[in-house]
């Protein structure tokens, strides 16, 4: 689909024509709610918001952002009180330095994440892109990061699913950063820094001990020299018990990384 936003001399067309083109496109190719597929009204406002992607009924279920109070280390959300370190992290500290998220796994979020991950509703990445960038800027602006690394899938799982959902969450971060700040970031997104070398069964239904055992030695750093003394930001879709991210972080730290933080789409 072509967008005629410049004239024959390459100059931008007027805003009125842009708006007209947008209306025509919306009428011919109407937008649908990314969750329930209900038709959405034509939006004339600039940029994207949850109204761009979801109908009123779905938005009413809530798309809660990840906000305090939460555990300073693992990001566990508290109902009340102040941000502090939770009891679990005090008694059994995670391998990762800290966990932050774009969304809380509440409201509509438990419905749309499985649609994205298991049912290939990849159009949801349009909505997730800005959420992940905003969370990155909000929580890690002052953190020294050298590599942003999506948690890898085993090649067999990748063939079965057809895509790595964690990579889709970060693939446009550099471009978004450049649009916002006018220059390239000091970090790079690289899916080759970490490999999943052992096929593991689904973590669903397993307790914490079984999850840890299931993931033991599942990750490997092909070139340890690349991560030596580096700050790493691991990215995944959901952080629940933390077994996957902590085992991945262990491999990175064993290879010489200085620190591993985690950014996820949603914190359960």
Q: What is the mean pLDDT of residues 56-75?
A: 96
User: Residue 1 has what pLDDT?
Assistant: 36
Q: What is the pLDDT of residues 186-216, one digit of tens each?
A: 999 999 999 999 998 777 777 778 888 888 9
What token pair was written down for 198? 């052992």
DSSP string, 128-185: HHHHHHHHHHHHHTTS--SEEEEPPPPHHHHHHHSS-HHHHHHTTHHHHHHHHHSS--
User: Is the predicted pLDDT of residue 26 greater than 50, yes or no?
Assistant: no
User: Residue 29 has what pLDDT?
Assistant: 47
Single pTM value for the model: 0.84
User: Residue 16 has what pLDDT?
Assistant: 54
* DSSP at 23: H
User: Is the predicted pLDDT of residue 11 greater than 50, yes or no?
Assistant: no
Tell me the pLDDT band of 237, cut-offs 50, 70 and 90. Answer: very high
Mean pLDDT over the full length of the chain: 88
Q: What is the mean pLDDT of residues 109-138?
A: 95
Angle (CA) 131-134-139 rounded to 5° is 120
Would you say domain 87-267 falls under CATH 3.20.20?
no
Q: What percentage of the chain has pLDDT greater than the value 90?
A: 75
Q: What is the pLDDT of residues 40-59, one digit of tens each?
A: 876 544 456 678 889 999 99
Q: What percentage of the chain has pLDDT greater than the value 70?
A: 85
Of the candidates 189, 194, 211, 193, which has an alpha carbon nearest to the alpha carbon of residue 202? 211
Q: What is the mean pLDDT of residues 61-76?
A: 97
Collect all residues with Cβ–Cβ distance below 8 Å to 20 and sequence separation of at least 6.
none
Query: Domain residue spans in the chain?
Result: 87-267
């Amino acid at each position: 689909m072509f967008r005629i936003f410049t004239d024959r001399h390459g100059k931008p067309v007027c805003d009125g024509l842009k708006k007209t083109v947008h209306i025509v496109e919306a009428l011919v190719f109407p937008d649908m709610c990314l969750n329930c597929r209900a038709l959405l009204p034509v939006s004339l406002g600039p940029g994207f918001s949850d109204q761009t992607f979801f109908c009123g009924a779905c938005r009413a279920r809530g798309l809660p952002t990840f906000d305090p109070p939460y555990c300073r280390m693992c990001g566990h959300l508290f109902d009340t009180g102040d941000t502090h370190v939770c009891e679990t992290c005090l008694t059994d500290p995670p391998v990762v330095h800290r966990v932050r998220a774009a969304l809380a796994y509440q409201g509509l979020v438990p419905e749309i994440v499985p649609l994205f991950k298991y049912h290939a509703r990849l159009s949801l990445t349009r909505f997730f892109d800005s959420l992940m960038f905003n969370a990155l800027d909000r929580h890690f602006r002052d953190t020294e990061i050298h590599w942003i690394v999506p948690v890898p899938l085993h090649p067999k799982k990748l063939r079965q699913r057809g895509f790595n959902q964690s990579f889709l969450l970060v693939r446009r971060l550099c471009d978004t950063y450049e649009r916002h700040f006018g220059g390239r970031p000091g970090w790079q997104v690289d899916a080759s820094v970490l490999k999943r070398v052992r096929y593991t069964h689904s973590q669903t239904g397993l307790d914490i001990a079984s999850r840890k055992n299931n993931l033991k030695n599942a990750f490997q750093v092909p070139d340890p020299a690349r991560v030596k003394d580096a700050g790493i930001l691991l990215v995944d879709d959901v952080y629940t018990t933390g077994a996957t991210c902590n085992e991945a972080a262990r491999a990175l730290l064993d290879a010489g990384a200085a620190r591993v933080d985690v950014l996820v789409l949603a914190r359960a």
